[in-house]
Amino acid sequence: MEQQVLWKSLMMNGSIVMFWRQDVLERYMEKIRGEGFDIYLIDCESSDCLLELGKTLEFPDYYGKNLDAFNDCLSDIVPRNEGIVLFFKNFDKFNERDNDTAYSVLDIIQNNSWRLLVESQKVLMAFLHSNDPELHIQPVGALPVRWNNEEWLNRSRGV
C-alpha cells in the first residue's frame, strides 16, 4: 500500500493551510521539505508584505508591488522541484493591518496554485502561521481556509 504524501492530504481542502502551534508547523515543514518542496519565509511583521513577497521570491525589477503585479509575477513561477510553500509567519498581523490585501494575496495564491497544478503538475501552497487561535479567513477560490489536520478542532488550539 502506497503511503500518502502530506501535500496531497493538505491540498484536499485547498492550497492554504493555517497553523497555530509552532511544533506542529515545524513538523509539517520538515515533512513537506522532505517531499521535495522549496520553502520561502515571508515575515508578516513587515509593514509591506507585498514588497516582502517580491524580495523573498526574487521577482524581477519591474515588479510593481501591488496585487496585479503579484498575480502576474506569481503566475510566472515554476518550481524547480515538487513545489513551493510560501510560509507566512505571523499572518494574523498582516490580516489585522490590511485585511483586504491579506485576503487578496491568499486568493491569488489559491488561483495560481490550481493553474500550476493543472499546467505543470507542480504544487504551490501557503502555510499561514497565526498567533491568534481563533483566526478565521473567508473561503478563497471558493474553497475554505482551514486549520491543519492536527489543529482543526478548537480544543487543539486551546479555544
Let me know: does 91 contact 103? Beta carbons within 8 Å. Answer: no
The string of pLDDT tens digits covering residues 133-159 is 999 999 998 778 889 989 989 999 999
Fold of 6-157: Barnase; Chain D (3.30.370)
What is the distance between the alpha carbons of residues 59 and 70, in angstroms, rounded to a whole number?
9
Q: Where are the domains of the chain?
A: 6-157
Window from 9-18, 119-128, 141-150 with minimum mean pLDDT = 141-150
pLDDT tens for 87-102 read: 999 999 999 999 999 9
Phi, psi of 100 (to 5 degrees): -65, -45
Residue 28 pLDDT greater than 50, yes or no: yes
How confident is the model over 72-77, as a mean pLDDT?
Answer: 94
Return the higher-pLDDT residue of 118 and 87.
87
What was the pLDDT predicted at 3?
A: 61
Q: Give the pTM.
A: 0.90
